[in-house]
A and B are shown apart, each in its own frame.
Chain A
Amino acid sequence: MNLLDFSSSIFIVAFFLYCFAFIFYCIAVSGKKWSNRDPKEHEARWSNIAFITSTSGLIAHIIFFTTRWIGGGQAPVSNMYEFITFLGMAIMVAYTIIHFMYRKPLLGMFALPLTIIIVAYASVFPQEVQPLIPALQSIWLKIHVTMAATGEAFFAVGFAAGLMYLLRVVDFSDTSKKGRKAQRWVEFTLISILVICGFIVASFGFKGAGYIAQFEQENVSVSALGEVTTKVETVEYTMPPIFKPYNSTAQYVEPFLGMKEALLETPSWFDGVNAGRKLNTVVWSIIVGLLMYAIIRLIIRKPLGALIHPMLDGIDPDDLDEISYRAIAIGFPIFTLGGLIFAMIWAEIAWGRFWAWDPKEVWALITWLFYSAYLHFRLSRGWHGKPSAWLAVIGFVIVLFTLVGVNLLISGMHSYAGVN
């Protein structure tokens, strides 16, 4: 067994340990109401078991990272798969640090599913070790990427605590206009998380079924001298084409539920490499996510938020508010250093310009400005509790857009990160 195979196996171990830890946290929280036991003791015992499990998961994850580094001969942060798995690991590190600071074990109930989703998301991307192209052959790749991801991981923990705060304090029996609005937004946030799960389910589902469709796309480009060149490229889909590539003809479309050809065409202004396939994937993620939501609603017969809300009874919302804020305050300088300063240093070395208004750079700046607005709101304008928690949630949406959305929708220097 070579080191890389071992690395892949231990990654699966880490994934399952995270899943078990999550289940144990759920037992710790919901089991309090079971009869024949002392609620406090039950919670302490099970959250302890859950924390030990999640820490074992983190250790397995770190072993995955190190063995892949040694086996692959390069720091595993150079493509989308490696970056996302690293982000998952960083979230667990951030969670563990916050856990030791506050000893509020139930935070794990939200941090772990976040890590699980992210780790599962990573597995959608090609997993092989790819040797570095010249632009990435720099020590700054490791420093910039790991540092930025660590900062973002703390923002993720801030998001988890913020969302938990909202689910804890939003009153699901309130029928006033304001109350309903809050409920709707919490529900919307949960649905968005399900859409991300929908992406993972759709990717694995169709991959497992071996689905394939092929299109021939004509790309017309006008050169600097005004010469028009037409290039025909084959685009391969792994999900049934709801949107086919712009200006393309079907070569082969495997029928899916009676769907024999693409329903719609991707608009021409959808930019970037493989725009059609990306749009198609996004649409499928939304469909599957909504489908999962519909099934859950049919089973539980009430909003998802109303299901989770009573589980969080007995958690001090002030603690959640403080944890969310502290996580962001810890993450902010790390993100500043890794996401902006180190990024500028690398850009200055590689391209001779520390700032080029590349979309990814701009979004890193937007993330930074957003969190600095958050800190000013909190410190100088006294925004605590709900508004602060909402900002923590929105902030993480911006982080996710910077990490994934920019690559998906906007092309630029960072497009080599290789999104599906």
Chain B
Amino acid sequence: MLLPENTKCECGHQNAVGTVLCETCGKPIVQEIIDSNEPLEMRYDGVARRSQKANPDILDKIWNFFSSVKIAIYLIIATFVGAMFGTIFPQASTFINNFDSSVYYEETYGTVGKIYYMLGLHNTYNSWWFITLLVMIGTSLVICSIDRVLPLYRALNKQQIRKHHSFLTRQKVTYSTVIEGNAEQWVQNYGQALKKKGYKVHIDGTALLAEKNRFSRWGPYINHIGLILVLLALLARGIPGWNVDAYVKVADGDTVPVSGTNYYVKSEGFKMEFYDNAELPESLQNTGRVKNFETLAVLYECETNCNDDFEKPQLTEVLRHTILINDPLRYEDLKLHQFDYDLTPRINAVSPMIINKETGESFGPFYLPMVDPELNYEVGPYKIQLIDKYMDFSINGEGKPVTLSREPNAPAFIFNIQGPNLKESGEVFMYFPLQKDKVRFSQNTINRELTDKLDIKVDGMENVSFSEATTYLNIRIDKAVKFLWIGAIISMIGLLLGTYWQHRRIWLRIDEDTLTLGAHTTKNWYGMRADTSYALGKVGIELDAKSLDNGGNKG
């Protein structure tokens, strides 16, 4: 079909190689099509596409490959079949911490799991072949569109009104009859009837072209532009700083830096609410169904001393927001999402008294925060010096004290205390603020005879400060997301134009007293036939719309 051939039509128009129907009069010029009796293939009005070139070179061949709709469909099929594999077992990316995929799949799913892992399907959507498929679809979208939209634009922009007979009789909707009276008047009347149906009518003596909703032809291309933008937005997330995804843990009352940014976030409290039984149906009674949880958050911008270990950062409040699951904190590109919570209380500070057990006198209280406590205290006659502290006290295998973490789960303080009836240089006292730790680690045994001389203890709960809960926030910056929305909107507009409207055209010519009519639409032939027969009815030709069908109730 791509052999050098005579592409000059009998109407005198010189067509490009690859043209199927003459660009001017619509007469078929490919021998194969001339010989057949099937309705004409009207795709892109039969004009040559960019890819239909004689003697293609290597670049042309690549272009031709991607310009094929058949290839595009195969790519789509390959993509969704590939995507299916990724849903068989959970993807590795859904596990957040301490996950070893090399053993997980085999342990959980046996041999099948091992094969799944070895094929790399545990990471389907980030695999080279899946990304390649997406890139190929993107390429196909670009090339298919360019290959077709320009020729189509040319074809639709300069349409000839009087078409060749064989063009008209080989449309999927066609009609021929002998009319009486003035041919030009008949054409005018028919045109009037079509105008009422919203057609733009062009008349050339005894020939007519009526056209409606041409814009819908651009729908698929607009849609594809939108999809290309969506794919580009996905790729753009790879640009450094465009896609931040981190987690931050904030206990009630704490202010912590938002990693990767210049912001700090404070939680003024995490709150959780449950449904009352009165609000719940029978089957959910006493199930503790959560009604709401929220973090009262304050966002600060750091002015100076940011992330400095020694100096306090200078913060300016920029925003207060109650973060709900469906209502994140948003400030410029930054978003803080409610991710998780922990209702274990955390001790922040105690204000204990120091008691002289021999006299029964007590002094204080003195303020002892878990974070950055003072090193020296003077309480009554006592001088207290902080020697060491353990936030998560434990004894290791060698019998030595260690801290398991920086979280104040089991805080312990070691003081050197000078005062009445104590050695001049002071004596060492170990203090566990939490009663459970005091018992567990036997504070009294550790402190030996000093236990009888003095004690440090908190007098009442009002002298202990707790964070009741800890909230976990997801820090997100996704700068590409706005391009994604723009792409989605463009794509949607194109999709609507292309599917909810159809480009309909009716051509006719009268030679002597013989009327020949052909009509074409991109879809909805039912409506096309209805329009054609409606207008025929208006000029006095009543017929069943279905009889216009030339074996082409298609598309």
Contacts and interface: CB of A to CB of B under 8 A. Distances in A.
Contact of A341 (B282, B335, B492): B492
A131 B523 contact: no
Interface residues of B, number: 69
A130 B284 contact: yes
Contact of B73 (A140, A330, A373): A373
Contact of A352 (B79, B83, B474, B485): B474
Interface in B57-93: 69-70, 72-73, 76-77, 79-80, 83-84, 86-87, 89-91, 93
B293 interface: yes
B281 A349 contact: no
A378 interface: yes
A373 B525 CA distance: 21
Given A128-B283, A269-B108, A135 B326 contact: yes
A373 B496 CA distance: 17
Contacts, number: 150
B293 A134 contact: yes
B91 A357 contact: yes
B197 interface: no
B484 interface: yes
Interface stretch (B12-20, B109-117, B433-441): B109-117
Nearest to B280: A131
Interface string A243-273: 0000000000000000000000000110100
A366 B84 contact: yes
B70 A381 contact: yes
B504 interface: no
A244 B95 CA distance: 28
A329 B521 CA distance: 15
Contacts of B245: 352-353
Interface in A104-155: 126, 128-131, 133-135, 137-138, 140
B43 interface: yes
A410 B94 CA distance: 13
A350 interface: yes
A126 B328 CA distance: 32
A102 B553 CA distance: 14
B69 A126 contact: no
Interface string A365-383: 1100110110011111110
A202 B78 CA distance: 38
A271 to B, nearest CB: 8
B469 interface: no
A319 B87 CA distance: 38
Interface residues of A, number: 62
B69 A352 contact: no
Contacts of A326: 523-524, 526
User: For the complex, would chain A's binding face be called helix, strand, loop or mixed by DSSP majority?
Assistant: helix
Interface stretch (A7-15, A35-43, A211-219, A331-339): A331-339
B72 A376 contact: yes
A325 B41 CA distance: 19
Contacts of B538: none
Interface in B243-293: 245, 275, 279-284, 289-293
Given A102-B526, A133-B289, A336 B495 contact: yes
B79 A382 contact: no
A321 interface: yes
B499 interface: yes
B125 A357 contact: yes
Interface string B319-345: 000001111100000010100000000
B481 interface: yes
22 contacts: A128-B282, A128-B283, A131-B289, A134-B326, A269-B110, A316-B546, A322-B525, A322-B526, A332-B499, A333-B492, A333-B499, A354-B478, A357-B86, A359-B87, A362-B86, A362-B87, A366-B84, A370-B80, A373-B77, A373-B80, A376-B76, A380-B43
Interface of B: 41, 43, 69-70, 72-73, 76-77, 79-80, 83-84, 86-87, 89-91, 93, 97-98, 108-110, 112-113, 125, 245, 275, 279-284, 289-293, 324-328, 335, 337, 474, 476, 478, 481, 484-485, 488, 491-492, 495-496, 499-500, 522-526, 546, 549, 553-555
Instruction: Name the 5 nearest CB pairs between A and B, nearest first.
Output: A128-B281, A352-B476, A318-B553, A138-B326, A369-B80
